[in-house]
Amino acid sequence: MFGTKQRRRRKLRQTPLPEEAMAWISRNVPYYRYLPDRDRMELSGLVQVFLAEKNFEGCGGMTITPEIRWTIAGLACLLLLRRETDFYPLLQSILVYPQTFVTERLEELDSGLVTEEVQELVGETWSQGSLAISWDDLLYDIAHHGEGYNVVLHEFAHQLDEESGLADGTPILPDADLYPLWAEVFTREYRALRADLNAGRPTFLDEYGAESETEFFAVATETFFELPRQFRTEHLELYRLLARYYRQDPASWPVPEGNGHLP
């Protein structure tokens, strides 16, 4: 069974995407325009596997279109480039809402009382094998590329984090000797973000990263791709760790003529 899956994946990775798919990816995955040709070819193959193995569901009246599938797949697979991957093995379904969606959560207070909290979200990852995305908010992130936010990169970073068995801000790392350094740098940076926010000091990383270690990793991931040069300047050690993990160095990406600017 395992060999069959690998053969199927190899065949899919060698199958070119249709021109329409590449047009949407080029338009809606802004990072694609900065990639070298070999990475573009790899991304195309990764997208083929991703779309063959993941299910898309429209929610709240949303109709799943080819643009939605190719855009989300292209962004999700950006995090898999150059790495040994099992294509988000915990994930089966991507739920796509037209706009922000509402969830209800039970929260236990220090007193022991349990309250129901209603939240309006642009994206969320669940442990039952699915994640949800607001399409309208994703389009906003794409249109404002370089402002530091991308809901797909954020939610799929959570998927990588959970593959280790515990959502704690530490995904499965490529080298065993990287874990102590990861723990040291990420813990220090996470605590520094919380301290700066408590003191009212401005921060480069979004304040949502101070919610928990897992949110810190997700925020750091989207910022790593969205604002790489500023990230490298502001948090060099953290940037280098993410570059080792993702095996990419977006701060060094060339800017193709006529294709916009790299933040």
Q: What percent of the chain has pLDDT over 70?
A: 90
| Tokens 């249709």 belong to residue | 18
Per the prediction, the chain carries an average pLDDT of 91
* pLDDT of residue 2 exceeding 80: no
Is residue 70 over pLDDT 70?
yes
Positive or negative, the CA dihedral 242, 170, 31, 17 is positive
Q: Which band of pLDDT confidence, cut at 50, 70 and 90, is reported for residue 128?
A: confident
pLDDT confidence bin for 225, thresholds 50/70/90: very high
260: confidence class by pLDDT, cuts 50, 70, 90: very low
- At residue 148 the predicted structure's pLDDT band, cuts being 50, 70 and 90, is very high
Q: In which band, very low, low, confident or very high, does the pLDDT at 180 lie, cut at 50, 70 and 90? A: very high
Asked if residue 190 has pLDDT above 70, the reply is yes
pLDDT at 109 over 80: no
Residues with Cβ within 8 Å of 199's Cβ and at least 6 positions away in sequence, in order, are none
pTM as predicted: 0.90
Given a cut of 50, whether residue 163 has pLDDT beyond it is yes
* Dist CA 150 CA 147 (whole Å): 9
Q: Is there a contact between 131 and 154 (Cβ–Cβ < 8 Å)? A: no
Cα 255 from chain centre: 22
pLDDT at residue 255 in the model? 60
Among 6-10, 94-98, 120-124, 172-176, the range scoring the smallest mean pLDDT is 120-124
Mean of the pLDDT values across residues 86-90? 95
**Taking Cα atoms as reference points, which of 143, 123, 118, 124 lies closest to residue 134?**
123
**Tell me: the pLDDT tens digits for 12-56?**
999 999 999 999 999 999 999 999 999 999 999 999 999 999 999
Specify whether domain 2-252 bears CATH 3.40.1410.10: no
